[in-house]
Amino acid sequence: DVKVTQSSRYLVKRTGEKVFLECVQDMDHENMFWYRQDPGLGLRLIYFSYDVKMKEKGDIPEGYSVSREKKERFSLILESASTNQTSMYLCASSFSEGTYIQYFGAGTRLSVL
């Protein structure tokens, strides 16, 4: 079974803090993704990585950065957390060829106070 693990299920941070969300996959997938999920807005892509050290901006990259130093690990960084970044964050991974099915982690619910 594909496993995508997000390091935290719940996080509470203060405005202005630097926040790291970690994601690890065990299927040797080339692609990894960070999404933000808000009620009524569905999933919005923040960043996408197709290889180690490679990244592309998604639909809403402002206020976020990412790091992919190893194939299995993809980190989302909030340089200076703000209250409007309170949300559910979902990590996903997929192969670069074939069916393009994305496999998701359980999510991290982040509250910025």
Judged by CB under 8 A, the residue of 1, 14, 28, 42 near another protein is 42
Judged by CB under 8 A, the residue of 11, 45, 60, 77 near another protein is 45
Q: Is 104 exposed, middle or buried (0-12, 13-18, 19+ CB in 10 A)?
A: middle
Query: Does residue 104 touch another protein according to CB under 8 A?
Result: yes
Toward another protein, which CB reaches closer, 14 or 28? Answer: 28
Query: Does residue 53 touch another protein according to CB under 8 A?
Result: no
Query: Does residue 4 touch another protein according to CB under 8 A?
Result: yes
Toward another protein, which CB reaches closer, 9 or 82? Answer: 9
Q: Which residues lie near another protein (CB under 8 A)?
A: 4, 9, 31, 33, 35, 40-43, 45, 48, 50, 58, 90, 92, 94, 96, 99-107
